A and B are shown apart, each in its own frame.
Chain A
Amino acid sequence: MIVNLNLENTGLELKELLEKLAEKAPQGLVIIVEPREEALRVLTEAAASRVGEDEALAKLAGELNSLAKEIPGSLRRSVEAELVESLNRIAEYLHAEKKAGGATPRGLHVMLNLLGNTVSKVVSSHLNAVGVDAKWVSAGQAGFMLVEDYEPPWSHYVSLVNPDGLKSVSKGALVISGRACVDHEGGEASLRKGMGSVVSILAASELRVNEVYVPKANGGVYTADPWIADKARVIPSLSYSEALELSRLGEWVVSPQAVELAEELGVRIIVSSIREPFKECTTIGFEKAVEKQIVKAVAMIPDMSILTVEGAAMAGAPGVASAILGEVAKRGVSVSMISQDASEIGITLLVKDRDLDMALKGLREGFGRQRLVKRIRIQRGVAVISAVGEGMRGTRGVAARIFSAVAEAGVNVLAIAQGSSETSISFAVSMGDAEKAVKAVHDRVILGF
C-alpha cells in the first residue's frame, strides 16, 4: 500500500489515522509524508529574516508538539527529546545564516529537509507505538533526486534514480520524508510544494502498486468548496484530465505534475477520508466512460488581478502574444488565464495580485519605448472561477448555461477563457462576486444538469 500523507490534507491529529494505516503494515506499507506548507513558509521567512527567529521556532515547536502529543508514555519522551534536538539544530542554522548575511540556498534546503525529516520521524514513532516495525528515510535516501532545468521555464522535478531503497519494503512500514531530497551532487535539496505526491506516484509505479491513497480531512474531492456551496457533494470519480484541471485550480489534493505522471504510469489516485483511509471517496483515473455529469466541479482562485494590454498596432502583428507573455515570464510571474479579442487589439492576462507589480514592471520596461502597446489597464481584487468536466466536450449549450446562471445571480463577468480541450471554462469576476458565482454555477449547473 502506498499512502501520500500530506499534512495539508489531513491536519495534525494523526493518531487515529495512523492506527488505521498500521493495519495494512503486515502487507507492506509505504507512507510518503509532507509537512504543512505553513510550517515550511515560517521557516523560509525566518531564514530570510522576515519573521523573527524566536517567533518561528515557537511556531515550529507548536506544530511538532501537536503532531507528537498523542504518542504514548516513554516513547513520547524520547520523541520529544528528538524534537528539541531538531529545533536546536534549526536555531543553530538560522543563526549561522544570519551571520552569513542572509539565507544561503543550501542552508535553506538543509533546514527545510530537517523539518520534513523530523515530521517523518514523528509519524514513524506513531506507528512504532502501535507495534509496527516502521523506519523513516528521506526521499533522497529512498533513491529520489531533484532534477532542475537550467533554462526557461526553470522547471523543478523529481526522479527515482536508485530504487533499491524502496524495494527493501516487504513487511512493516517505510516512512519517506517526501520533500527531503538530494540534488545530482548528493547535496541536500528540498522539493517544492506538490513534489511529495510525485514521489508517491513514482514509488507506486516502481513497486508495481497501481494505487496511491491520499487521506483527506473531509474525505474526497467536492463538487465545490462546501463552505461556499452548502449542497456540495463528493465526486465519486474524476478522469485524469478533470483532476489535472482541478489540481491547477487550487483543489490541492495532489499536484498537477502528480496527476500527469499518474496517467502516464497508469497509477490510480484514491482520495479517501482520514477516518477510513482505505475507502474510496474520489477515484482519479481509469474512468471507463464519462459519467453522466457534464460539469463535475467548480473551483475558485481568489486574489487575482487583470492586466489588459492594448494597442491598435498589435492587430495583425505576429508574435505579440509571445512577446507580452515573455516579458511577464522574465519577471518570474505565472499567468493563470489569457483572453484575446478577435480584433487582436487587446490581450487580457490574469496574474496573482501579489505578482501584479512585477508583471507591470516587465511590461513597461519591455514595451515602454515601443508604439505597439498604447495602454496597460489593471484591475485588482479579482477571482477566477472554473467549471470543470470532460462531459462538456462536444456538449452544446454548456457555456450558455453557465453564464446564464452567473448573470441570474447578478454577477458581472470580466473576462472569459476556454481551452481547446473543452474540459473547463474559466471566467473572471470581482472578488466580491466570487462566492455568488461559485454557488450559482454549482447549484444551477452542476446540480441542475
Chain B
Amino acid sequence: MVGKVNLKIVVEFFESGGNYFIVIENEKYKSPYSEYAILKKLLNEKNHYFTIEDLMLIGWPDRVVSVNSVPVAITNLRKIFKHHTAQKVILNTQNLGYIIGADSDVKIANSSLLTDAVAKEKIRIPVNRINQALDISLKLPLLIINIVFLAYILIAKTSLYTMKDQIYDISHTQSAVIISPKGTHVKNFFDSITSKSTLNIDELTPYLTDVSTSGKSILFVSKYRQKIIIDCIRGNQLDSLYGDHVDKILSELKAIGCKL
C-alpha cells in the first residue's frame, strides 16, 4: 500500500541535446532514457500496475534487453528518491508489477504531464536518436567528403590554368618570328631580328592575320629536348621542320621560300 503524505514532491522531466534529465525539488539528475521514460510513465499513470514486460517496452522501445534491466532501472530511480523522501515511491507487487500509488507524495509537474503532444514526442525520441546517430556517422563524413571533393576540383582547376608563361616575342623583319617560350636561345638563329614586342594570345590572332595578308611569312620557332621545331606559314602554305641539324633546317627554310 502506498502511504499518505502531506507535502508533494514535484518531479519534472526534460530532454536537452540528446540527454535526459529528471528534476526533483530543483535537483537535476541526468539519467538514461530508460529510467527517464519508466518514471515518467509511472507518474503519469499513477495507481496503475506495469509489468516488467510493459516497462521493458517503455524503457527500451527500440531494442531487446534482459529482464533484469527493469529492476536495475527501478533500483536506480529509488536511489534518487532516497535523497528526497523516506517513502518508498515505486512499489512492486508480486504478479502485478510496478506502481506509484495515487496517494504517493511524489507528483509530476504539470509541464511534464503526458499530453498527446508529449506522447508523440516520446514516440519521436528513438527517431531523435537515429538523427543523432546520422549526424555523427553520416552527415559529418558527408560534409568532409563534400569539402575535400570541392577543394580537389578547385585546386585541380587552379593548377590547370596557371601554367607557365603565355608570352610571345614578336620580331618585325620580312617575317614575323614567334619564339616560344620567351627567352629561348633559338632566336639567335635569326640575325635580322630588329625589334621585339610581347603579345598575349588574344592579341596574337589579329596580329598574325595582318602579317599574313601583308605577304610576310610567319615563323613559329620552338625548342624541345635540344631540337628545334619551326613552322613556316606563307599564305595558306605550311612547312614544318624539326631536328638538331640547324644549318640544314635554315637552308631548307630558304629553299622553300620562307622569308628570313
Q: Do A and B come from one complex?
A: no
Residue ranges of B at the interface with A (Cβ–Cβ < 8 Å)? none
A residues near B, CB below 8 A? none
